[in-house]
C-alpha cells in the first residue's frame, strides 16, 4: 500500500527526471504546429537523417532464424538522405548481408555521439518525449562506395575514432558502403500532431531538409534556467513526501530517531566511539 502511494505521489508531481515544472509548456511551437501531410513528413525525415549519425542496422541471421540489430556509425556525407557507412568484415551484420539477408536502418531523434551538438527541435515533436519524437525505418540495398576526401573528413567529424577503421587499417578488414534507399516508413511522433506512414522514395530523396538551429556549448556546472534553487527545493519536498509514504516519517525525523536509538544502545555507542578513534 505504501509503495502504491509512493508511485501515485511520483505520478502527481510535475517533475520528470529533474525537469522543471511546466517543461511540457516550453517550445510550444513544436507542439502547437503539427502536420499530417506526407510532403512535410519527407522533409522531417530528411532532416532527421541529416542531423543524426547513428543507426540500428537490422539484418536476418539465417543460422538462428532471428532478426539482428546493431548500432552502426553513418554520416549523410552528400546530404542526399542516403547514409554512408564503414562496413567491418568481421561484423555480424556484414556476415548476414553476405549470406543474403535484406537490410534496413532505423534512426530516431538522439541517435548521435555523446557530446555532439545536434538540434533536437522538430515540427510536431513533443519536447522531452521519445515516443513523441520522429523516427524512421529505411529499407534498401548497400552498394560499394568510394567517398571523396571531403566526405571522409565529414565522416570523421561525426565519428572521431572511426579513422582507425578506414580501409587498409591493420586491425579489421573494412570497406565503404552507401545505403541506397528504396522505401521509408516514418513515425513523426504522436499521431494527433504528426504524420505516420509510408513516404515515397522519390519524394524523400528530393525533399529539402529543414534548417538546424545552432546549439550553444554548455559549460560545466551551467544551468538551463535560473530557478535551479526552486527546483532543488521542490525535489527535496518530493523526497520528503515519498519517505513519509514509505516509512511514516520524514527523512529528518527518521535520522533523528536512528541517532537516538544508537545513543540508547551502549554497544552501538561503544562501536561508534571505537570507529571514530580509529579514524583519528
- Residue pair 194/136 in contact (Cβ under 8 Å)? The answer is no
> CB neighbours (10 Å) of residue 241?
17
Query: Is the per-residue pLDDT at 155 higher than 70?
Result: yes
The pLDDT confidence band at residue 20, using thresholds 50, 70 and 90, is: very low
Lowest mean pLDDT among 45-54, 91-100, 246-255: 246-255
Grid cell locating 96: 548476414
Residue 123 has, within 13 A of its CA and on its CB side, a CA count of 19
% of the chain residues with pLDDT over 70: 65
- Residue pair 162/107 in contact (Cβ under 8 Å)? The answer is no
CATH 2.30.110.10 placement within the chain: 24-206
Query: Is the per-residue pLDDT at 268 higher than 50?
Result: no
CATH superfamily of 24-206: Electron Transport, Fmn-binding Protein; Chain A (2.30.110.10)
Grid cell locating 233: 527545493
Average pLDDT score, the chain: 77
- Helices 251-264 and 228-247: angle between axes, nearest 10 degrees: 60
Terminal CA-CA length for the chain: 45
- Note the pTM of the prediction, 2 decimals: 0.69
Q: What is the pLDDT of residues 73-116, one digit of tens each?
A: 999 999 999 999 999 999 999 999 999 999 999 999 999 999 89
Picking from 115, 97, 103, 96, the residue whose alpha carbon sits closest to that of residue 53 is 115
Judged on CB neighbours under 10 Å (0-12, 13-18, 19+), 257 is: exposed
Amino acid at each position: 500500500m505504501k509503495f502504491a502511494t509512493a508511485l501515485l505521489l511520483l505520478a502527481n508531481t510535475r517533475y520528470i527526471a529533474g525537469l522543471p515544472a511546466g517543461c511540457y509548456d516550453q517550445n510550444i511551437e513544436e507542439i502547437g504546429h503539427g502536420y499530417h501531410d506526407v510532403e512535410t513528413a519527407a522533409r522531417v525525415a530528411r532532416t532527421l537523417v541529416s542531423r543524426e549519425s547513428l543507426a540500428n542496422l537490422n539484418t536476418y541471421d539465417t543460422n538462428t532464424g532471428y532478426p539482428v540489430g546493431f548500432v552502426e556509425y553513418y554520416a549523410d556525407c552528400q546530404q542526399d538522405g542516403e547514409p554512408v557507412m564503414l562496413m567491418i568484415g568481421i561484423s555480424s551484420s556484414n556476415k548476414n548481408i553476405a549470406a543474403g539477408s535484406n537490410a534496413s536502418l532505423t534512426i530516431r531523434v538522439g541517435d548521435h555521439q555523446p557530446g555532439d551538438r545536434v538540434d533536437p527541435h522538430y515540427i510536431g515533436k513533443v519536447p522531452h518525449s521519445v515516443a513523441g519524437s520522429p523516427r524512421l525505418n529505411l529499407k534498401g540495398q548497400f552498394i560499394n562506395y568510394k567517398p571523396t576526401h571531403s566526405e571522409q573528413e565529414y565522416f570523421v567529424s561525426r565519428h572521431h575514432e572511426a579513422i582507425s577503421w578506414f580501409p587498409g587499417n591493420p586491425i579489421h578488414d573494412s570497406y565503404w558502403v552507401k545505403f541506397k534507399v528504396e522505401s521509408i516508413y516514418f513515425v513523426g511522433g504522436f499521431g494527433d500532431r504528426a504524420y505516420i506512414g509510408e513516404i515515397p522514395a522519390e519524394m524523400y530523396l528530393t525533399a529539402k531538409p529543414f534548417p538546424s538551429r545552432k546549439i550553444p556549448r554548455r559549460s560545466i556546472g551551467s544551468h538551463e534556467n535560473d530557478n535551479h534553487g526552486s527546483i532543488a527545493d521542490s525535489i527535496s519536498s518530493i523526497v520528503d513526501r515519498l519517505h513519509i509514504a514509505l516509512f511514516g516519517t520524514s527523512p529528518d525525523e527518521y535520522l533523528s530517531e536512528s541517532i537516538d536509538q544508537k545513543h540508547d544502545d551502549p554497544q552501538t555507542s561503544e562501536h561508534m566511539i571505537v570507529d571514530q578513534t580509529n579514524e583519528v
